[in-house]
Amino acid sequence: MKTLKKLPSMHQRTQRGAVLVVALIFLLLLTILALSASSRSLLQERMVGGLRNSQQAEISAQTALRGAEWQLWKATSDINGHLNCGTGVAFTTCYVYDPANPITNVVNFRTQQGWVTAGATTYKGYSGGTDYTALANGKLAYNPLYIIEDLGVELPPGVSGTLHESGATGSTGVGAGSPALHVYRITARASGANSNTVRVLETTFAAKSN
């Protein structure tokens, strides 16, 4: 005697097809969510890396500024050294500020984008032997650079003299006010671990000129 097999009804087949479609839709939604989460994680990782590079460049530029200030301060105790730019022993690469005759290297270093090295001094730490591009942790794309400009004699408000910033020619002579105190402008340029991240910072520092 043959056993008759009951075939699924049309309604049952329709239900099974609907379940399959719903499952495929959920699978598609889960795939989209996974791709979105992955893209967001990659974006956050890039943002964190960019922030780290920016902070590295900022800290490196600050370090170069403080290092140049320290050298200026240290040179004031050197009897045989001179702080007048271009005329002494300690800072032969220092520039005398003259608004009537701007120095191309200084202008480019202060304003040009990218990595500019012409006319600048490389900063390699307190001892001069630190290579920031070869550090085990937090290495930089470039060693930081700085330039020093002698803005002239520091004068009290309302007193005219030989201050270079006031528009006079590049004289380093003694004027009224504080004749032995010169104002120096220090500009530092530094990068992060990525060479495309560059920061340029400036500060002024008063030091005695002997």
Tokens of 35: 């791709």
Is position 131 within any domain? Answer: yes
Q: What is the pLDDT of residue 8?
A: 57
- Alpha carbon of 190 to those of 107, 203, 205: distances in Å? 16, 14, 19
Is position 45 within any domain? Answer: no
Is position 91 within any domain? Answer: yes
Q: What is the pLDDT of residue 166?
A: 41
The mean pLDDT of the chain is 76
**How does DSSP assign 33-68, residue by residue?**
HHHHHHHHHHHHHHHHHHHHHHHHHHHHHHHHHHHH
Domain count, the chain: 1
Q: What is the pLDDT of residue 16?
A: 64
Chain segment 31-75, per-residue pLDDT in tens:
888 877 777 767 666 676 678 888 889 999 999 999 988 888 877
Is position 27 within any domain? Answer: no
Tokens of 167: 């528009």
Is position 11 within any domain? Answer: no
For residue 203, the enclosing domain spans: 50-208
Is position 144 within any domain? Answer: yes
pTM recorded for the entire structure: 0.68
Distance CA(124)–CA(15), nearest Å, equals 75
Q: Is the pLDDT of residue 148 over 70?
A: yes
Distance CA(181)–CA(196), nearest Å, equals 38
Is position 84 within any domain? Answer: yes
Rg of the chain in Å (alpha carbons): 33
Q: What is the pLDDT of residue 34?
A: 80
Is position 76 within any domain? Answer: yes
